[in-house]
Amino acid sequence: MNDETIAERIEKIRERIAAACARAKRDPADVHLIAVSKTHPPKSVAEAARAGLMVFGENKVQEARAKIPDCPGNLSWHLVGHLQRNKVGFAVEMFDLIHSADSLRLLQAIDRAGDELGKQVKVLLEINVSGEGTKFGLKSDEVPEVLRAANELPRVEIRGLMTMPPPFDELGKVRPFFRQLRELRDRWQDETGVPLPELSMGMSHDFEIAIEEGTHWIRVGTAIFGERAKKEPVINEDI
């Protein structure tokens, strides 16, 4: 895998997406690939852009601030990692979609930042489906109330839901998490009347399963850019 170019890896991912869509009887045009470029340099982003990718994901505001100015200017950037309230202004400025809104206070801060910048801000609510695993994300029972309140915020446009299941050794164990997010989405749409058209789930090792379970966005890093140099820090960057 290490001898492959980024363009070759992207080609393989496109084939995997097409195969998963064929199995799930879905139109590949309904599945959107985000290249998660965290820890990788602008030249890798440029290479992926030359291979036709337009949407890139970062998990840290600081890294994105340093990187985006050195990348091609026509790309769309998404925040896929946890967002701290003191960085909301930068995030609202840089990102076209924030995947990780996980509290009403954060959504209110996003609304204020959107107001200051005169910008409608697209967000996904991050859901902690299992109540275990990742420490971020709303618990299922808090979601309808947050959805109703966030829907009243004039600058916030809720597009859907995101989840990050706990890491599993066995691939098959992830499917119930993805399926549950889709079922919760259907239920909460009915309950609140807030449309939630976009799901964000699936990464390098499990995106086919997410496609089969109805995802809109897949967030793929390693399978495009190769292994990251160091492990992700478990705690956030400011501590």
> Rule CB under 6 A: which residues touch ligand PLP?
36, 38, 59, 80-81, 164, 203-204, 219-223
Q: How far is the CB of 150 from ligand PLP (least distance, A)?
A: 20
Given a contact cutoff of 8 angstroms between Cβ atoms, the answer to whether 160 and 198 are in contact is yes
How far apart CA 145 and CA 29 sit, in angstroms, is 33
Q: How far is the CB of 148 from ligand PLP (least distance, A)?
A: 26
How far apart CA 64 and CA 90 sit, in angstroms, is 10
User: Where do the DSSP E strands lie in 164-226?
Assistant: 198-200, 217-220
Q: How many residues does the structure list for the chain?
A: 239
By Cβ distance, which residue is nearest to ligand PLP?
221
Give me the residues paired with residue 198 across strands. Answer: 160
SS3 204: coil
Q: How far is the CB of 75 from ligand PLP (least distance, A)?
A: 17
Nearer to ligand PLP by Cβ, of 94 and 115: the residue is 94
Q: How far is the CB of 223 from ligand PLP (least distance, A)?
A: 6
Nearer to ligand PLP by Cβ, of 82 and 155: the residue is 82
Nearer to ligand PLP by Cβ, of 153 and 165: the residue is 165
User: Where do the DSSP E strands lie in 76-119?
Assistant: 76-79, 97-101
Nearer to ligand PLP by Cβ, of 214 and 221: the residue is 221
